[in-house]
Structure 1
Amino acid sequence: MVTLRKAHLDDATLLSQMGYSSYTHHFAHLWHEHKELQAFLFQEYSLPALQKELQSKTSCWFIATDTDPVGFAKVSWHSAVDEDGPTGTLLNKLYLLPGETGKGYGEALLAEIVRMAQCRGETFFWLEVLDANPQAYRFYTRQGLTHIKDTTFSTPTQQSTLHILGKRI
């Protein structure tokens, strides 16, 4: 049975290891330039970046465990999709470690995060998913999220389409 707990400052090393491992496993093949991937990983999962993030008042990191850690999530509370809204909980990250997908963890984690958002008084839940990740897109639509619009993630050498999905909660 998977459990989700809020990450604290002393979890930064574990989150860093899980972030580098899971992101590289699932997405490294999408990057054209190795140095851009490395810069992104450092920005998102380096120890200094995570230590700063874990002290944020507007977002929370969570660690998913089933005996051992199996993944992690990051959410931003009361975040607007764009200047016209809607506003709600943004699921910034939901990553499972290599070998941990397909075990029902993602569904359980998503349900728990939605429950936490509702307890905070949120009425909307949203996320971004890469166009190049159709498996995740299908997973989220099975959980009741629907397509809102597309946006673009750009690096100096490439562009990726991000689908913004959301639902009322």
Structure 2
Amino acid sequence: MLTIRKAEIADAALLSEMGYASYRHHFAPLWREPAELEDFLTQEYSVPALQQSLQSTTGNWFIAEDVAPVGFAKVTWHRAVDEQGPAGTLLHKLYLLPGETRKGYGEQLLAEVERLAQLRGERFIWLEVLDANPNAQRFYLRQGFTHLKDTQFSTASQQSTLHILGKPLSL
């Protein structure tokens, strides 16, 4: 049975391990420059970066476990898509470890994030998904998200299209 809990500072090493493993597994082939990938991973998943992020008052990390950890999510509460809005919960990350996809964990983790957002009075949830990640796009569309607009993610050597998807939440 899946349990989902809010991550604490003591979970930084676990999140780091899961972050490096899941990101490399799912996205390493999309990076042209290995050094840029390593810089990104350090920025996102090093223990010091996670310790700082876990102390944020504007967002939270969550760990999903089924006997052992299977994945995690990161959110920022009440963040606007852009200057025109809408504002709602930004789902930064919803990653599952290698071998843990297609088991219903993603749906359960997303449902819990949506439930917690609704408890906070949020009426909207949104995220960015890589154009080069059609499986994630299909997953979120099946969960009721719709395409809002596109934006770009750039590094020194490459540029990627991100689709911004959103979904109204009922209170």
Alignment TM-score, normalising by the size of structure 1: 0.99
Matches within 5 A, 1:1-169: 1-169=1-169
Distance 1:111 1:9 in 2: 24
| In structure 1, C-alpha distance between the alignment counterparts of 2:46 and 2:168, rounded to whole Å | 34
Q: Which amino acid aligns with 2:150?
A: D
Please give the alpha-carbon distance, in whole angstroms, between the structure 2 residues aligned to 1:139 and 1:103. 13
Aligned structure 1 segments of 4 or more residues deviating by more than 4 angstroms: none
What per-residue deviation string (whole Å, max 9, x for no partner) do you get for residues 64-117 of structure 1?
Answer: 000100000000000000011000000000000000000000001101110100
Q: C-alpha distance in 1, partners of 2:9/2:115? A: 24
> Quick one: distance in 2 between partners of 1:154 and 1:7?
29
Q: What do the CA deviations read for 1:25-67 (whole angstroms, capped 9, x no partner)?
A: 0000000000000000000000110000000000100000001
Secondary structure (helix, strand or coil) at the match of 1:103 reads: coil
> TM-score w.r.t. structure 2 length?
0.98
Cα RMSD of the aligned pairs, angstroms, is 0.4
Separation (CA, whole Å) in 2 of partners of 1:80 and 1:3: 29
**Secondary structure of 1:49's partner?**
helix
Displacement of 1:18 in angstroms is 0.3
Question: 2: CA distance between counterparts of 1:10 and 1:23?
Answer: 21
Q: What displacement does 1:3 show?
A: 1.3
Whole-Å Cα distance in 1 between the matches of residues 2 and 83 of structure 2? 36
1:47 & 1:92 partners in 2: Cα distance?
18
**Amino acid of the structure 2 residue aligned with 1:20:** Y
Letter of the structure 2 residue corresponding to residue 56 of structure 1: S
- Distance in 1 separating the partners of 2:7 and 2:114: 17
When the two structures are aligned, how many residues end up with a matched partner?
A: 169
For 1:94 and 1:164, locate their aligned partners in 2 and report how far apart those are by CA, in whole Å.
15
Whole-Å separation in 1 of the counterparts to 2:115 and 2:135 = 23
Once residues 43 and 32 of structure 2 are traced to their aligned partners in structure 1, the CA distance between those partners, rounded to angstroms, is 18
Query: Can you give the 5+ residue segments of structure 2 that lack an aligned partner in the other structure?
Result: none
